[in-house]
């Protein structure tokens, strides 16, 4: 039986709402990737992998992780468990090149890659030193 105009209008309205949500979600994720690129000194692909990694290990939807990262950028607040997973993921994926380092040398990576004064401050971790210690009370810019 053919659908009525009212049914078709209802379907189209639902589809438009889904598309709007997808566009908004994509923008949030792209902005969070940009923060990972800027603060974590990783490539955009690595930034995506950091978000995906944090999402999978925290069992939180990727879009929600991206939203938490954007809130951290605005307010300096991020849940401790997400912060810890973010630090671990950034340790695994970056940095690709430490600002101010000799471009002739290979890019620094991993726990020993921190440059003093670059990115979020480093501090002690129970088992090792993190190049990026993200605190819930500081914003990425300060």
Q: How many domains does the chain have?
A: 1
Instruction: Give pLDDT tens digits for 9-65.
Output: 999 899 888 888 888 888 999 999 999 999 888 999 999 999 999 999 999 999 999
Q: In this structure, is residue 49 part of a structural domain? A: yes
The string of DSSP codes covering 79-108 is -HHHHHHHHHHHHHH--SS-TTS-TTSPPP
Closest alpha carbon to 36 in 92, 77, 79: 92
Q: Helix (H, G, I), strand (E, B), or coil: what is residue 129?
A: strand
Render pLDDT for 61-93 as a digit per residue (tens, 0 to 9).
999 999 999 999 999 999 999 999 999 999 888
**Separation between Cα atoms, residue 93 and residue 67, nearest integer Å:** 20
Encode pLDDT of 5-17 as tens digits: 998 999 989 988 8
- Supply the range of the domain harboring residue 117: 10-97+109-130
Helices 62-75/80-93 angle, 10° precision? 100
For residue 34, is it within any domain?
A: yes
């Amino acid at each position: 039986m053919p659908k009525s105009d009212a049914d078709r209008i209802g379907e189209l309205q639902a589809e438009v709402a889904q598309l709007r949500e997808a566009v908004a979600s994509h923008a949030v994720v792209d902005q969070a990737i940009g923060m990972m690129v800027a603060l974590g000194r990783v490539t955009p692909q690595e930034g995506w992998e950091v978000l995906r990694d944090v999402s999978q290990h925290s069992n939180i939807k990727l879009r929600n992780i991206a939203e938490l990262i954007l809130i951290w950028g605005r307010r300096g607040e991020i849940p401790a468990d997400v912060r810890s997973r973010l630090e671990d993921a950034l340790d695994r994926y970056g940095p690709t090149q430490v600002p101010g380092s000799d471009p002739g040398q290979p890019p620094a990576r991993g726990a020993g890659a921190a440059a003093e004064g670059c990115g979020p401050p480093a501090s002690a971790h129970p088992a090792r030193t993190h190049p990026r210690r993200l605190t819930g009370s500081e914003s990425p810019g300060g």
